[in-house]
């Protein structure tokens, strides 16, 4: 399930030249740094180190809609070592993506419209049209979100969901028969910076770590825990008439009814308050914590049928995959 990576190899053998294995595509003006293209991968070499960037899935299979299993990751790394004539045993992972593609019954925007906020990561959404600061949307677009992503303040961590078929068609990529004429929601957990990886694993990871079973299981947990931490809207709100309803409880129920029934309007209002500086970081955390508490109170709320479908698909794809 690993996809895009950035690897760095330090302490290159003195006699090693990448150009002996892969044709040079670009040379910097001073000649000290050059780039080679290996399939979809960009590989840069200078006097001190080598950098490899790109999708392991595309490198191995020519497409990345099909998630890589752990054995496939090992195959991709071993193939890469052979193609460039260099061991990657000590290649440090500087950024990495772990994701899956799930075939859903409805169009992908129907699910992403229901993705709310999560603690510690800012929420952003993208649709076709003009950019309005942190929210990108087109008022006339009634179909909703085409991409939703969450990012940490320092940019080390991200979680993103988007329409994979739409992306592939836009890039004029061939769609595998297994996914042809289907709705595919792509979900990715990303660690963008080396220090982010170090914080989650108490140290660096190497290219060979990516097919280590314990590391793979840890990424499964990180992905699924972040997915589950995102508040999901669209639940059915009902009142237990066997109990007395106080004014305070009724107020909470009505507020939650609006939040669940009108997720787009709620999120737009919430974002405007943030942009206007009317919500402090502490207040935002308190609101999100309270929303999550209400959203998990199953004595009041039923899970939305689309989210129930997606939860099952994600769990089976990520937690039961290898």
Distance CA 261, CA 259 (A): 6
Residue 123 pLDDT grade (very low, low, confident, very high; cuts 50, 70, 90): confident
Residue 118 pLDDT grade (very low, low, confident, very high; cuts 50, 70, 90): confident
pLDDT tens digits, residue range 215-273? 999 999 999 999 998 888 776 666 666 777 778 777 777 777 777 766 667 777 777 78
Q: What is the DSSP letter of 22?
A: S
pLDDT tens digits, residue range 39-68? 999 999 988 899 999 999 999 999 999 888
Distance CA 95, CA 51 (A): 11
Q: Express as a percent the part of the chain with pLDDT over 70.
A: 85
**pLDDT, position 302:** 64
Q: Express as a percent the part of the chain with pLDDT over 90.
A: 47
Q: Mapping DSSP to helix (H, G, I), strand (E, B) and coil, where does residue 226 land?
A: helix
Distance CA 237, CA 301 (A): 5
pLDDT score of 74 more than 70 = yes
Residue from 13, 27, 5, 14 nearest 86 by CA: 13
Q: What is the DSSP letter of 151?
A: E
Please, what is the Cα angle at 187 between 3 and 40, to 5 degrees?
A: 25
**Cα separation values, 87 from 3, 4, 8, 50, Å:** 20, 19, 12, 12
pLDDT tens digits, residue range 165-191? 999 998 899 999 989 889 999 999 999
């Amino acid at each position: 399930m690993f996809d895009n990576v950035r690897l760095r190899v330090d302490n290159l053998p003195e006699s090693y030249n990448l150009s002996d294995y892969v044709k040079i595509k670009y040379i910097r003006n001073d000649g000290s740094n050059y780039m080679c293209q290996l399939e979809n991968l960009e590989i840069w070499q200078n006097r001190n180190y080598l950098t490899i960037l790109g999708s392991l899935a595309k490198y191995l299979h020519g497409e990345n809609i099909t998630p890589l299993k752990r054995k496939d990751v090992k195959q991709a790394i071993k193939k890469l070592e052979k193609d460039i004539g260099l061991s990657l045993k000590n290649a440090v992972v500087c950024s990495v993506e772990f994701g899956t593609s799930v075939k859903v019954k409805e169009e992908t925007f129907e699910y992403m419209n229901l993705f709310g906020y999560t603690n510690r990561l800012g929420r952003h959404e993208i649709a076709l049209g003009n950019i309005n600061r942190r929210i990108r949307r087109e008022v006339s677009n009634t179909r909703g979100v085409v991409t939703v992503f969450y990012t940490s303040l320092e940019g080390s961590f991200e979680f993103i969901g988007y329409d994979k078929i739409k992306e592939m068609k836009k890039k004029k990529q061939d769609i595998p028969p297994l996914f042809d004429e289907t709705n595919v929601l792509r979900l990715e957990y990303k660690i963008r910076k080396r220090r982010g990886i170090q914080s989650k694993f108490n140290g660096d990871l190497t290219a060979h770590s990516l097919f280590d079973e314990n590391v793979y299981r840890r990424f499964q947990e990180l992905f699924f825990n972040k997915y589950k931490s995102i508040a999901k809207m669209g639940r059915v709100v009902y009142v237990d008439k066997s109990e007395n309803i106080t004014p305070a409880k009724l107020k909470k129920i009505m507020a939650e009814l609006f939040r669940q029934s009108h997720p787009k309007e709620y999120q737009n209002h919430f974002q405007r308050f943030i942009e206007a500086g009317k919500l402090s970081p502490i207040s935002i955390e308190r609101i999100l914590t309270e929303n999550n508490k209400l959203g998990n109170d199953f004595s009041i709320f039923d899970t939305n049928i689309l989210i129930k479908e997606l939860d099952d698909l994600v769990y089976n794809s990520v937690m039961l995959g290898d």
